[in-house]
């Protein structure tokens, strides 16, 4: 569905990412992980068409990204920024309506199909019950669901999410990830950058790990996210616990001290 070939990304001459070769299959959830500043947002920008590659090509469904007009692209791909703020106090429905923009000419009114798509998006994100409420009166978790409803209203084949769970409470984080998973099951291709490795382990089909300007690992999270990799990339010593049937989680735990420090009785991280 999405393919990157030898892509290099940068800003005003300064390269941020290089040697990007990536493929995301339809209906797949790809988790993008890496420390702050590793280029997750940059990569998402490139795939959403907002940043032209310095080298290489990006393909969406076998068409080159730069051959699509913004509107054509918006009909296939929906992207949500990390921080979305709404300057005016629109209602939820008014915001989700905006998702139909790429599908309508400027002078056209909302058709029945448009209304149906909007309603379906609201239903899927469980926001139908407060569709007439103002956006500023919602909690952050509810708001995040509204943004996803907006993206769904575009009827996209691909969904790009930049740290959608960043400032959410734990229950909302799980809620959003469950929603994303269920959307992927309906054949939506999802590329989501994640801060939380546990969520990546649990909800992503594949992860891509960004480090020092490259993808240093790509594959199933359980195979790719090893303690060594995490120590190398995130500079944190962790212990990965396996939770029987359900999956893995990563705990940041002090590792046993090296022998010499123990001998001196010094309690210290190495």
- Give me the residues that bind other proteins (CB under 8 A), please: 12, 48, 50, 69-75, 78-81, 84-91, 94-95, 98-99, 101-102, 106-107, 136, 154
3-state class (DSSP) for residue 4: strand
Q: Cβ 50 to other proteins, closest distance in Å?
A: 6
Nearer to other proteins, 11 or 261 (CB): 11
Nearer to other proteins, 63 or 239 (CB): 63
What backbone torsions phi and psi does residue 55 show, to the nearest 5 degrees?
-155, 160
57: its two tokens: 């090509």
Nearer to other proteins, 86 or 166 (CB): 86
Which residues are bridge partners to 230 per DSSP? none
253: its two tokens: 């735990």
Q: Cβ 77 to other proteins, closest distance in Å?
A: 8
Buried b (16+ CB within 10 A) or exposed e, 13-51: eeebbbebebebeebbbbbbbbbeebbbbbbbbbbbbeb
Q: Cβ 73 to other proteins, closest distance in Å?
A: 7
Question: How far, in Å, CA of 192 to CA of 44, rounded?
Answer: 9
Nearer to other proteins, 151 or 179 (CB): 151
Nearer to other proteins, 46 or 238 (CB): 46
Q: Cβ 27 to other proteins, closest distance in Å?
A: 21
269: its two tokens: 């991280």
User: In 3D, which of 162, 188, 195, 189 has the Cα closest to residue 46?
Assistant: 162
Q: Cβ 91 to other proteins, closest distance in Å?
A: 8
Question: How far, in Å, CA of 84 to CA of 167, rounded?
Answer: 12
Nearer to other proteins, 1 or 95 (CB): 95
Q: Cβ 146 to other proteins, closest distance in Å?
A: 11
CB 61 within 8 A of CB 239: no
């Amino acid at each position: 569905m999405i393919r990157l070939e030898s892509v290099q990304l940068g800003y005003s001459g300064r390269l941020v990412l290089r040697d990007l070769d990536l493929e995301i299959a339809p209906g797949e959830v790809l988790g993008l992980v890496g420390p702050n500043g590793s280029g997750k947002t940059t990569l998402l920008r490139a795939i959403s068409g907002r940043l032209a590659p310095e080298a290489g090509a990006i393909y969406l469904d076998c068409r080159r990204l730069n051959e699509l007009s913004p509107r054509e692209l918006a009909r296939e791909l929906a992207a949500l920024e990390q921080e979305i703020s709404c300057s005016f106090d629109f209602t939820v429905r008014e915001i989700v309506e905006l998702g139909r923009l790429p599908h309508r000419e400027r002078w056209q009114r909302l058709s029945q199909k448009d209304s149906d798509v909007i309603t379906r998006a609201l239903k899927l994100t469980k926001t139908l019950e407060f569709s007439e409420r103002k956006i500023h009166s919602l909690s952050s978790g509810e708001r995040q669901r509204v943004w996803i409803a907006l993206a769904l209203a575009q009827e996209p084949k691909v969904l790009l999410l930049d740290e959608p769970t960043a400032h959410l409470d734990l229950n909302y984080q799980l809620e959003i990830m469950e929603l994303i998973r269920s959307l992927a099951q309906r054949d939506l291709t999802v590329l989501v950058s994640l801060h939380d490795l546990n969520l990546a382990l649990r909800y992503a089909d594949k992860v891509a790990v960004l480090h020092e300007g490259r993808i240093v690992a790509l594959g199933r999270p359980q195979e790719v996210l090893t303690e060594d990799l995490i120590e190398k990339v995130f500079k944190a010593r962790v212990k990965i616990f396996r939770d029987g049937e359900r999956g893995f989680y990563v705990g940041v735990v002090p590792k046993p001290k090296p022998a010499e420090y123990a001998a001196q009785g010094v309690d210290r991280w190495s």
